[in-house]
Chains A and B, each alone.
Chain A
């Protein structure tokens, strides 16, 4: 057994010598492993001041939507809405958010409420471009959180779940309908 072990040992020595003979050919420590991966930035990070503004850029540029933009950021939802879409976004104004019970928004932007906030924001987004002339009374739209909203068209006024569309703004990747109320989904 001892002999066997020593034979094995000498074999290892022999092999390592053989390998050692190749050492000058061997790579120095792989530098690729040391290259740090760049922090992932989505399409919202693309610098482009030539193209038409996408939904995120339109919202960021609106002084009436600072609460919505803060919420989109808190829910990590900015990059999605900067993608190809196309999207229809119902965008509550700051005044609409202010109508919620005191402290609601402050609560929702807390990190532990991220999923709840995201669900609410997704309830404001449809995939597809719905212009106002394409809405009909009683029409149901599938929203990004898998629930539906109901469109109302009466006396020249268009509503979504009862909130009124007060303006519509085209964007590169869809359309924004500004609404005067926050849409609250059934699910949390």
Chain B
């Protein structure tokens, strides 16, 4: 009897234990059975998409494969990266030069891939620096940052770097309005309304070489420009910017910039602005901003300081900018693939207004205005409105499109993604995200031709999603299959922080264009060493130039003497390898610097100022071969005024000369 009782008790306990596992749809059971197969990419197989994700306060851009979520590369952009020598080597330091001097960090919020005819073309991806305003261009044949341009008259470059449909321009709107760089900025902060302006930069992009230049800036009323997107198709020639703080507050914006029921989406006729510039209506204004470019021929960057910028004051021209009222501090400003519908997302709103480009044009033609804002005509809300998505969720932020007539909007406050139909504005599906979603990405999702298939939600808070790692947790990306009627979550993966906007493109657009090696014969670096026999050490006053080569598995030279205290030593290391994926690294003990990581055929330079007398080892940091641990050398540092002669050797070759034969 006792046994029976025990068994009954065990059965009861088991039932209690097992029951909770049947709890419907908690955070872990939201994934259904075939999720694994949908995100599984077998070992040795490639992903279907490249995904370029902004690295937020890391200052970098990361590249993932989709659908696996494999991290393929972190591309250093605005922050130094000791791993790659970015910002540490003499060649890359100029890339981080600004009008403020060398800036080793920034905050990269948005990525935007180049387009041709409104379709993603896989040539470049742009990124914005939010703190010290800049725009970077990354070359997708090398996955390297090849150009960075600073933006004058700007602060908090948030509304950036969005492009026009043929990458004619990269656009960058200032988040903070500020007095112009050329004005006396020593003014009382509460004179915001009189002295602060918001500038929109139109950066032209070379059709073939991608070279950037600020074509012109539009001086606009002082507000916060938040996000933007270009018109496309029928609305090509227009750009749409969300603005908040139209209260023009300069303190406690949390309250003071949330007073008005509606802020604005500003519609900008940039073709018209172009006409005025061509007609000589712009003014060249003194400004100081850096333009940095990296050359794969010299393997070096140069920084040029520009001294003026063309500005068009929109107050003088009433047919460039128009304000469209948009509820509750708009954030995302997204244009559907047809170019007809402009979706505004009020951070505090409980609806999504969708504006019609045709109606906006008609309103302008019919002067359906409702007064002015700081000299800019305000279009009547109803005159521009196509319709509102009712009760979609709380706090819409960003919208992407699948090319099948559907829109996907993220809701930060209600932590969900909502799918809705653009035509009838009906909500079709909603899924929770874990937690507090910011941006969304559909491959090609802001272009004329989205590739659809997947949607990725970039979440701010992860709490219980991954194994905890102390107070700071990684951010998460959540991958959804959107090929069916219902969205299906298929994968969670951590990202480098903090992801904001991201873009994705089919792998085939990019994969085939990859540079494997740099041809040593084409290396035009000023200090290249094209063969071991050319390696040498040259003294020029207190500068010692080491022309060094690296090849499996030694440096030439690997013994150097005659360096003295007070010298500056420059190790110009050329990687002689001509074999894909065989970089060599270089590091020297005590260097207040980083390593070099030198690609095949490339030359990179580490500056080293010895700080004491003695023997300093140097070695290859990238496991290159079976004899990698043998790839090392020594440098001798003697006191200032020492008579130790400058000498370099490799094996029994001294000062480049082979020993006399017997």
Contact = CB atoms under 8 A, between A and B. Distances in A.
Q: Do A and B come from one complex?
A: yes
B553 A129 contact: yes
B42 interface: yes
Interface residues of B, number: 40
A106 interface: no
B116 to A, nearest CB: 26
B553 A48 contact: no
Interface stretch (B1-9, B52-60, B392-400): B1-9
Contacts of A172: 577-579, 582
Contacts of A86: 552-553, 625-627
A174 B18 contact: no
Interface in B15-61: 15, 18-19, 21-22, 24, 29, 33-34, 36-37, 40, 42-45
Contacts of A8: 7
A35 B45 CA distance: 12
A173 B582 CA distance: 10
Contacts of A31: 34, 36-37, 40
Contact of B552 (A18, A35, A84): A84
Contact of B627 (A50, A51, A128): A128
A63 interface: no
B553 A28 contact: no
A86 B624 CA distance: 9
Looking at chain A's contact residues, the main secondary structure is loop
A156 B366 CA distance: 95
A4 B8 CA distance: 10
A133 B658 contact: yes
B471 interface: no
Contacts of A38: 42-45
B276 interface: no
A187 interface: no
Given A27-B33, A52-B579, A173-B579, A19 B18 contact: yes
Nearest to B651: A134
Interface string A24-64: 01111011100101101100001010111010000000000
B651 A129 contact: no
Contact of A129 (B15, B18, B552, B579): B552
B517 interface: yes
Contacts of B44: 38, 40-41
A100 interface: no
A27 B36 CA distance: 10
Contact of A4 (B4, B10, B516): B4
B11 interface: yes
Interface string B603-640: 00000000000000000000011110000000000000
A100 B10 CA distance: 79
Contacts of A185: none
A32 B43 CA distance: 12
B22 A25 contact: yes
Nearest to A54: B579
B18 A127 contact: no
Contacts of A27: 33-34
A51 B580 contact: yes
B14 interface: yes
B8 A50 contact: no
A7 interface: yes
A150 to B, nearest CB: 19
Interface in B356-377: none
A46 B627 CA distance: 23
A21 B20 CA distance: 11
Contact of A7 (B4, B22, B36): B4
A154 to B, nearest CB: 11
Interface in B519-557: 551-553
A48 B553 CA distance: 22
Contact of B517 (A26, A28, A50): A50
Contacts of B43: 37-38
A27 B15 CA distance: 21
A51 B8 CA distance: 72
Contacts of A26: 33
A3 interface: yes
B624 A25 contact: no
Interface string A115-143: 00000000000011100011000000000
A16 to B, nearest CB: 11
A85 interface: yes
Interface string A82-94: 0011100000000
Contacts of A28: 33-34
A169 interface: no
A46 B407 CA distance: 41
B552 A48 contact: no
Contacts of B582: 84, 172
A127 to B, nearest CB: 5
Nearest to B652: A134
Nearest to A84: B625
B517 A51 contact: yes
Interface centre among B10, B33, B577, by most A CB within 10 Å? B33
A4 B4 CA distance: 7
B15 A18 contact: yes
Contacts of A3: 4
A109 B615 CA distance: 54
B40 A35 contact: yes
Given A3-B4, A51-B580, A129-B553, A85 B516 contact: no
A22 interface: yes
B54 to A, nearest CB: 31
A15 B45 contact: no
Contacts of A18: 14-15, 18-19, 22
Contacts of B516: 48, 50-51
A14 interface: yes
Contacts of B658: 133
B294 to A, nearest CB: 21
A14 B552 contact: no
Contacts of A22: 21-22
Contacts of A51: 516-517, 578-580, 600
A85 B628 CA distance: 10
Contacts of B578: 51-52, 172
A14 B15 CA distance: 8
A156 to B, nearest CB: 10
Interface in B547-582: 551-553, 577-580, 582
B3 A21 contact: no
A184 to B, nearest CB: 25
A11 interface: yes
A18 B16 CA distance: 10
Contacts of B552: 84-86, 129, 173-174
Contacts of B625: 84-86, 173
Most chain A beta carbons < 10 A, residue from B4, B11, B517, B577: B11
Contacts of A129: 551-553
Contacts of A133: 658
Contact of B7 (A7, A40, A128, A173): A7
Interface string B85-106: 0000000000000000000000
Nearest to A15: B14
Contacts of A7: 4, 7-8
Contacts of B600: 51
A35 B553 contact: no
5 contacts: A31-B34, A48-B580, A84-B552, A84-B624, A128-B553
Given A86-B625, A172-B578, 9 more contacts: A22-B21, A22-B22, A28-B34, A38-B45, A41-B44, A46-B580, A85-B626, A128-B627, A173-B579
Counting from the closest, the 3 A-B pairs by CB-CB distance are: A31-B37, A52-B578, A27-B33
